[in-house]
Structure 1
Amino acid sequence: MIKQALLGEFLHEAENTRKILKAIPDSALNWKPSEKNWSTGQLASHIAEVYNWYEPTFNQDVFDMGKYQYDKGDISKTENILAKFEENVAKAQKVLENSDENTYFNEWRMEMNGNVIFPPSPKVQVIRGFLCNHLYHHRGELVVYLRSTGNKVPGLYGPTADDIM
């Protein structure tokens, strides 16, 4: 039952993520709001990467970021970021579909080289906080990036100011 709810949200939100990533023109990929921020391309790539974290979140009790390796690929073109997104979403969907609800309340933590960086929590809490909410946070940033570069923002939960009513 929990799995079906998570899967429904996953599929709906993956489509929303797809819409926002498709809205990024290549000309905006190098833009960033300040020296402290990621570029649009780096942010979009990170959003695509979050889907790569489903396997270690669902299937491991400890996710060691010190050993984690991920090939972002060429992020100089939106189509490349989208391709990586599609690859990661397909894998994440399979992980979610094959997950065992009996493990959703097992303790999970994230470490980096032996140091705990995400405290022990039930996996279902991590799924909602680390995977879902984290993704939504970065998508919100991406909306601001698109607006700041004069680009249109697609409607995710209804029309935006760019949609003709």
Structure 2
Amino acid sequence: MILQYLTQEFEHEVNSTRKLLQAIPEKDLGYKPSEHSWTMGELAQHIATIYYWYVGALTRDVYDLAADNLERGDTNDIKATLALFESNVEKARTALNSLTEEKLKDNWTMKVGDRVVLGPMPRGIVARGFLFNHIYHHRGEMIVYLRATGNKVPGMYGPTYEDSKKG
């Protein structure tokens, strides 16, 4: 039952993420709110990349980021980032559809080489915390970037502030 809910949430939220990424104008990809922040293009690419991590998180017991290689493209090309997003969503969907309720209980670990950076923890917790919530966190950042650059934020859970000020 939990897996059914995760799958439905995934499909709904993919559409929201797509709307947000499509709202990013090429002209603002270099915007960086502070010296410690990513550029808008880097943040967009990170959001698109998280969907790739579904494969390692949902199909492997130990996911070694150092052994994985994902071609990301130019962070200053929003079309490339959108293509990366769409490709990674398909991979994520396949990984999610391969799961069973039993596999959600299996322990999972993330490593970078020999260093454990996350886990071990049950895969169901990984799906919620490391994958779903991670995307939501960075989408929130992207909303701030869009507003800071004077761009319209798309409605993902109903009308936005900008929508409520019309008419």
TM-score range, shorter chain: over 0.9
Secondary structure of the residue aligned to 2:66 is coil
How far apart in 2 are the matches of 1:28 and 1:127? 31
More displaced 10-residue stretch of structure 1: 2-11 or 63-72: 63-72
The 5 Å alignment of 1:15-164 reads: 15-163=15-163, 164=166
- Aligned-residue offset at 1:77: 2.0
How far apart in 2 are the matches of 1:68 and 1:87? 16
How far apart in 1 are the matches of 2:96 and 2:79? 25
- Aligned-residue offset at 1:136: 0.3
Report the count of equivalent residues: 165
Structure 1 alignment gaps of length 5 or more: none
RMSD: 1.1
- Dislocated runs of 4+, deviation >6 Å: none
**Identical counterparts, % of pairs:** 48
How far apart in 2 are the matches of 1:72 and 1:51? 12
How far apart in 2 are the matches of 1:36 and 1:48? 20
Q: Deviations over 1:101-156 (max 9, x none)?
A: 22110011111121111121000000000000000000000000000101000111
TM-score, normalised with respect to structure 1:
0.96
Structure 2 alignment gaps of length 5 or more: none
